[in-house]
Copies of this chain bind each other. A is one copy, B any other.
């Protein structure tokens, strides 16, 4: 590589250089184990320390209260789309899903196999003189079923580039898919009962799914829940259920250590604020680019925008690549440009991108 590359893909995401260097060393030999980290046993003393350190660091970075368990599961957030109703529906008649875009609808679709799903809309399209604007819907008209097993939210929608404010007054357990926003800002755990996230965007590589769950939700799994999707089993076995994906959990630990060395979550939030403000400013100032999400809903993580015509879009993407700005093509369902900016994204890379937009 002759020039510095910056990677804006939605995930798998870029890893910090220092983390990649450490991983290479640990592949040669992990500590004094005589083994590569790729060979380390899931029941070894070394791995017991790795997984426990990962749990402790996650707990400390997020200030996760007692009464929450941290699980490392498999099969990604998509696996959780089935695990949630299987583990949490119990004998309740309904589950409530907040519709904020593609991924929340996908989660709801899976839940329909298991029972009735109540949908609540989080966004609304407003036609204005300048075209459609997507704004946050007034939540006071939400009528969450009192006997709902849980309320599911997707706080950050990666395809549309929409970010929801916390739900602070729910009377049923709140479950959140944080695959694209885990560890990008502090969380008030009073507002959440279960958080889940695939690791490949903010916590390393694909192959492990973090689940942070209130202990009193653990014991409700339906009898036919597949073993590997059971929260109670993972809690009881401390996530060493079958051959744990050792390397993926190890990568989580390395990312958590990096995050701690950066000063934790407050600087992560500040950096996300700065990056996204810069980018939206450039998009709004440029008549040839358009993002139709209202300010209160704009994602600080995945910024999607259109360019006025296809030819200019393609030229823009080519020019970006030539400048070392990779992974900017929009999602295959959406088109346009998408800049995904996770914790490792340098402000300088966003400045280069903003300059390109301004120069259109």
Contacts and interface: CB of A to CB of B under 8 A. Distances in A.
A264 interface: no
A20 B38 contact: yes
Given A23-B27, A74-B79, A75-B74, A15 B1 contact: no
A91 interface: no
A140 interface: no
Contact of A28 (B24, B43, B332): B24
Interface stretch (A63-71, A130-138, A246-254): A246-254
B38 A23 contact: yes
Interface in A233-292: 241-248, 251
B86 A243 contact: no
Given A14-B39, A24-B28, A79 B228 contact: yes
A208 B82 CA distance: 19
Contacts of A40: 12
A75 B74 CA distance: 5
A113 to B, nearest CB: 6
Contact of A226 (B11, B41, B86, B327): B86
Contacts of A7: 34-35, 39
Contact of A1 (B29, B76, B200, B229): B29
Interface in A205-238: 205-208, 223-224, 226-229
A184 interface: no
Contacts of A185: none
Contact of A242 (B27, B43, B76, B205): B76
A114 interface: yes
A286 to B, nearest CB: 27
Given A113-B223, A247-B247, A13 B27 contact: no
Nearest to A25: B24
Given A20-B27, A207-B207, A248-B207, A76 B228 contact: yes
B39 A207 contact: no
Nearest to A47: B12
B24 A39 contact: no
Contacts of A245: 205-207, 245, 248
Nearest to A5: B34
Among A1, A34, A246, the most chain B Cβ lie within 10 Å of the Cβ of A34
A75 to B, nearest CB: 4
A337 B24 CA distance: 32
A316 interface: no
Interface in A1-39: 1, 5, 7, 9, 11-15, 20, 23-24, 27-29, 34-36, 38-39
Interface of A: 1, 5, 7, 9, 11-15, 20, 23-24, 27-29, 34-36, 38-43, 74-79, 81-83, 86, 110, 113-114, 198, 200, 204-208, 223-224, 226-229, 241-248, 251, 324, 326-327, 332
8 contacts: A1-B29, A7-B34, A14-B39, A20-B27, A24-B27, A34-B324, A75-B75, A79-B226
